[in-house]
Amino acid sequence: MLDKKMEDAFNSQINAELYSEYFYLSMKAYFETLNLKGFVNWMNVQIQEEHAHAMGMFDYVNTRGGRVVLKAIDAPKTEWHSVLEVFEDILKHEQLVTSLINKLADVADEVKDRAALSFLNWYIKEQVEEEESVGGVLATLQLIGDDKNALFTLDKELATRVFNPPVIG
């Protein structure tokens, strides 16, 4: 049986993961208005990943005999001044998610839930990859500056990103 404190912490993180999905959906809408199909694709992959992350935790809570309680999802930001600003926001957001996952692991450690710690190790590693991926695109955007041809080239590159369903846990 899942400890109540651990269950509550997982429920909060499930909400955070669903917010992430919603946040990236808002960014996708922004890129649609700019007709940047590669960036739209990149966001589609992010949306699918965040959904998978939320559902991994959702299933874990249920498997451990806990109860998932869904909460309201806050409205995400909808306006940006540039593609660069979007990716700056993404990096900040992923760093926040990393801190939330670490706090979730702290709760698992506090209540001595070794199974939860083991499960969360996948998420901890995933966050390192998320920050690296976003950081790479952000660094490229910073190098590009106002070069529209380079932005178009990056857009074409991002169009090749593919969602690979994760094996969580």
Chunk the chain into consecutive blocks of 10 residues (it has 169) and report each block's average pLDDT, rounded to whole numbers: 97 98 98 98 98 98 98 97 98 98 98 98 97 98 98 98 93
Do 168 and 53 meet the contact criterion of CB atoms below 8 Å apart?
yes
Q: For residue 66, give the DSSP letter.
A: -
| pLDDT of amino acid 9 | 98
| pLDDT of amino acid 169 | 78
| pLDDT of amino acid 111 | 98
CATH 3.40.50.300 for domain 4-69+79-158, yes or no, is no
Which residue in the block uniquely carries the two structure tokens 């450690």? 109
How is the chain split into domains, by residue range? Answer: 4-69+79-158
> What's the CA angle centered on 121, arms 132 and 115, to 5 degrees?
165
| pLDDT of amino acid 53 | 98
Which residue in the block uniquely carries the two structure tokens 């969602």? 163
Residue 72: φ, ψ to 5°? -60, 145
Do 114 and 168 meet the contact criterion of CB atoms below 8 Å apart?
no
